[in-house]
């Protein structure tokens, strides 16, 4: 029993060591990104929109590939916007209730470049969309379907979360064509007012209490880039 206990202790120590090393590395990468973001803001704050696209491109690619590289029903699950930055953080400050809701008619999402995050999950439906939708394909150029496409836009970052039409939206991204209007647009600046991130932890700005740990330095940097966008009043996807 003592041997088993010692073995478990050793395993926990190794896991903790790996986690600390990973956090340390992420902290460095986070700082590099934030230095770049601040320099960019000095030159041209509007270019922060491009930086958010760069930071979210790896996640978008992962989502587009997940159903292809896995067997049926094993693709990555859809993204819950209210857990996007802090999966284990307090949900009450991550929901848009009470946040300003803006006029969606004044915003457009361009599938060719904007950071929209679909989660295609059905292999056959995805294949049919990729094979049929787009210029010089049997269904023709990509077109918005208001009855099917459901996208929520979070500002100041300009993150477009998909709640409906995942497969056809994914085909538009891959084909580099298509424009759609979000159904809901929220100014989530309240989240930035309540939370800060140092690349390792998300913390309360009021009492510095730890709210969650950073799992992805790119998403952590994205969070703080939003603070710069808020400061410079940058509004992505506005018409």
- pLDDT tens across 143-181, in order? 999 999 999 999 999 999 999 999 999 999 999 999 999
Q: Confidence class of residue 17 from pLDDT cuts 50, 70 and 90? A: very low
Average pLDDT, the chain: 91
Collapse the DSSP code of 106 into the 3-class scheme (helix H, G, I; strand E, B; otherwise coil) and give the result: helix
The rounded percent of the chain whose pLDDT value lies above 70 is 89
Sheet strands (E) in the chain: 101-102, 109-110, 116-117, 150-155, 159-164, 179-180, 184-187, 195-197, 201-204, 210-213
Q: How many residues does the chain have?
A: 239
Contacts of 85 (CB under 8 A, 6+ apart): 94, 191, 195, 197, 202, 219, 220, 223
The rounded percent of the chain whose pLDDT value lies above 90 is 84
Q: pTM for the whole thing?
A: 0.86
Q: Confidence class of residue 70 from pLDDT cuts 50, 70 and 90? A: confident
Cβ count near 26 (within 10 Å): 19
The predicted pLDDT at position 13 comes to 52
Contact 135, 144 (CB under 8 A): no
The predicted pLDDT at position 78 comes to 81
Looking at residues 14-20, what average pLDDT do you find? 49
Looking at residues 207-227, what average pLDDT do you find? 97
């Amino acid at each position: 029993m003592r041997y088993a206990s010692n073995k478990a202790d050793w395993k926990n120590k190794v896991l903790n060591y790996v986690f600390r090393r990973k956090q340390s590395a992420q902290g460095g990468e986070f700082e590099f990104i934030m230095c770049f973001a601040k320099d960019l803001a000095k030159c041209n704050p509007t270019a922060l929109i491009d930086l958010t696209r760069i930071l979210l491109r790896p996640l978008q690619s992962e989502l587009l590939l997940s159903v292809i590289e896995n067997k049926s029903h094993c693709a990555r699950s859809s993204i819950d916007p209210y857990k996007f930055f802090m999966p284990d953080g307090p949900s009450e400050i991550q929901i848009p209730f009470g946040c300003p809701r803006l006029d969606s008619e004044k915003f457009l999402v361009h599938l060719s470049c904007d950071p929209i995050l679909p989660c295609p999950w059905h292999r056959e439906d995805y294949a049919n969309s990729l094979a049929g939708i787009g210029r010089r394909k049997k269904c023709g150029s990509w077109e918005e379907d208001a009855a099917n496409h459901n996208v929520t836009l979070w500002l100041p970052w300009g993150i477009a979360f998909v709640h409906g039409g995942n497969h056809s939206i994914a085909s538009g991204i891959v084909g580099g064509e298509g424009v759609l209007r979000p159904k809901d647009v929220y100014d989530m600046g309240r989240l930035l007012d309540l939370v800060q991130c140092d690349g390792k932890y998300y913390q309360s700005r009021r009492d510095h209490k730890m709210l969650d740990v950073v799992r992805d330095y790119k998403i952590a940097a994205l969070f703080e880039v939003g603070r710069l966008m808020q400061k410079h009043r940058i509004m992505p996807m506005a018409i």
